[in-house]
Structure 1
Amino acid sequence: MQPFDTQFTLSRHYLAECFDESLPYGKNPNPNYLFPASFLATGAGLLFFTEQPKVFGGMLIALAVLELIHIRFRRAWWLRRQMWGRSADSEVTLNIDEDGVRTQSAYAQTALLWSDIERVIETDLGLILTTQSGGQQYLSKSLFSTELIIEIVAKSGD
């Protein structure tokens, strides 16, 4: 494999692409509505069917509403947290060679060896590198040529 070096900015656009493309392949692709539904049902039950003070039932209903808001706005909240981080809008250097994939910025440095990469998932806009430990790293296809994308996907199958 020919060594490849490039730079990109961790902009809001890049991070939004990362979230959108990685979500279907993440640990929780579909929201869990059972958790807020159980809080809502328990809170309503405590309010209507017991003579206890209404504070605990009201707190459970408030937590259910808060969890539903979290589910509804999880993309916006994730993007906001990333943009609040010090790595936001920083330059990232990406190196790909025979050893693996390395990224380096002023605040973070990662190295994924080809032997640690279990598989490469190709999405419409990028590549998701999945490690044996379950971690994922997203790389946008806009950074690579078509030949390099084919080479990266083939390298992960070795």
Structure 2
Amino acid sequence: MFVFHCEFTLDKDYFRECFDQSLPYSNVSKPKYALVAFLFVLGCVAIYGLDNVYLGNFLILLAVLECIAHYYRRPWWVARQMVTRASGSKITLDINEQGVTATNPYKSYQIPWSEVNEIAETELGVVLVRAGTNQYISKKALSDEALQYILSKKNSHD
């Protein structure tokens, strides 16, 4: 028995919203300062200590590349999602007492409530935080009753 049934389309706007709203709950929200500093120091040691300019420049360029990758992580992630075959497809979301089931023509997955560690309400949606991965659901796709039902599951986890 399904409690709530919702549908939405995976388009560029949805992917952007998904990235922006779930970023604070992701492990890529902060730059890898230690890695960048380590690569830069190793590059300097290679250039000045080992007199190996090629290795030093390579390591310093890796540090720069890491900075660029962090700066452009949003457009890169959105572009990767847009080239998947699921892009543009309609998602059917079923929310019941067992969990959340999402289905599109290419894939189906279920998130049992028992696997959800945290339910975080954001300005535009809800993030289901699990070990290893997060799932974002936009409020545009949810009815008020479905949103309240999901948030009520948050209280049952506390």
Scaled by the length of structure 2, the TM-score of the pair is 0.88
Q: Could you tell me which runs of 5 or more consecutive residues in structure 2 were left unpaired when the two chains were aligned.
A: none
Partner residue, 1:33: 33
Q: Which residues in structure 2 correspond to 1:5-154 (within 5 Å)?
A: 5-50=5-50, 52-131=51-130, 133-154=131-152
Q: Could you tell me which runs of 5 or more consecutive residues in structure 1 were left unpaired when the two chains were aligned.
A: none
Shift of residue 48, structure 1, vs aligned partner: 3.0
Q: Cα RMSD over matched residues? A: 1.9
Q: Number of matched residues?
A: 156
Shift of residue 134, structure 1, vs aligned partner: 4.0
Separation in 2, partners of 1:134, 1:40? 30
For the Cα contact (< 8 Å) 2:12–2:78, is it kept in 1? yes
Shift of residue 2, structure 1, vs aligned partner: 6.7
Shift of residue 149, structure 1, vs aligned partner: 1.3
Separation in 2, partners of 1:149, 1:126? 9
Runs (4+) of structure 1 moved beyond 6 Å? none
Shift of residue 110, structure 1, vs aligned partner: 0.8
Scaled by the length of structure 1, the TM-score of the pair is 0.88
Separation in 2, partners of 1:109, 1:116? 17
Shift of residue 155, structure 1, vs aligned partner: 2.2
Percent identity of equivalent pairs = 38
The residue type paired with residue 145 of structure 2 is E
Shift of residue 33, structure 1, vs aligned partner: 2.0
Separation in 2, partners of 1:21, 1:43? 36
Give deviations 1:79-124, integer Å, cap 9, x for gaps.
1111111111111111112222100011111111223323211011
Shift of residue 21, structure 1, vs aligned partner: 0.5
Q: Which stretch has the larger CA shift, 87-96 or 24-33?
A: 24-33
The residue type paired with residue 58 of structure 1 is N
Separation in 2, partners of 1:148, 1:106? 23
The residue type paired with residue 153 of structure 1 is L
Give deviations 1:120-148, integer Å, cap 9, x for gaps.
110111101123x3431110011122232
DSSP-derived class of the 1:157 partner = helix
Q: Which stretch has the larger CA shift, 20-29 or 2-11?
A: 2-11
The residue type paired with residue 91 of structure 2 is V
Separation in 1, partners of 2:128, 2:93? 14
